[in-house]
Amino acid sequence: MSRALFIIDVQNDFTEGGALGVDGGAAVAADTTRYLERAFGDYDVVMASRDWHDPEGDNGGHFAQAGTDPDYVVTWPPHCVAGTAGAEYHPGLDLSHVTMHVKKGQGEPAYSIYDGEVEGGASDGATVSAVLEERGITEVDVVGIATDYCVRASVLDAIEHGRHVRVFTDLVAGVARESSDAALLEMGHAGAVLVASDAD
């Protein structure tokens, strides 16, 4: 049995003070770091994703057009623009145990880690699905931001790709309580195990 950890979008723009900051985002960064300090040996792959949007254009309709308000469902304010501080990982997330990085949303909407490309090393440019297949990954644990959007999409895609998935409920943060609770319920119904990171 081979296991991967997905760290979803723990970026400055998705944490407190960012363009789309969520409450608890900085805590997810710090707590994920603490978790990895004790558990990194459990994983064959530790994969961290980032939104990485183009600075020009609306990224396939993902950014609200100038002069219009975002609907926060399909269109959003500009965020995680490539090369900006907002697109960088939150400084509370220690990257020393991350073995692969994934950039997603380069010119188009992208919520799931499966929508991105692996960056660096022998797997540069590969899809997440291809890397997991190549390495025989059967189990995936998921942490990150935001519970009700990119965490949800990544979990559902991992299940659809035949992986057994755990969501660490103490290492995620969402945009809103109601939609986050609904997303966790949906993930659980799809087959994800919802559990605290310190559960046996």
SS3 content of the chain, % helix, strand, coil (to 5): 30, 25, 40
From 9, 115, 141, 148, the catalytic residue:
9
Domains of the chain as residue ranges with CATH: 2-141+154-172 (3.40.50.850)
From 80, 104, 115, 157, the catalytic residue:
104
Q: Is 150 a catalytic residue?
A: yes
Output the pTM of the full model: 0.95
C-beta of residue 119 within 8 angstroms of C-beta of residue 53: no
- Burial label for 67, CB within 10 Å (0-12, 13-18, 19+), is exposed
From 80, 115, 150, 157, the catalytic residue:
150
Say whether 118 sits in a helix, a strand or coil: strand
DSSP assigned state of 136: T
List the one residue out of 113, 117, 181 whose CA is nearest residue 151: 113
Q: Is 104 a catalytic residue?
A: yes
Per-residue pLDDT in tens (0 to 9) along the chain, 200 residues: 799 999 999 999 999 999 999 999 999 999 999 999 999 999 999 999 999 998 888 888 888 888 888 888 888 888 999 999 999 999 999 999 999 999 998 888 899 999 999 998 778 889 999 999 999 999 999 999 999 999 999 999 999 999 999 999 999 999 999 999 999 999 999 999 999 999 75
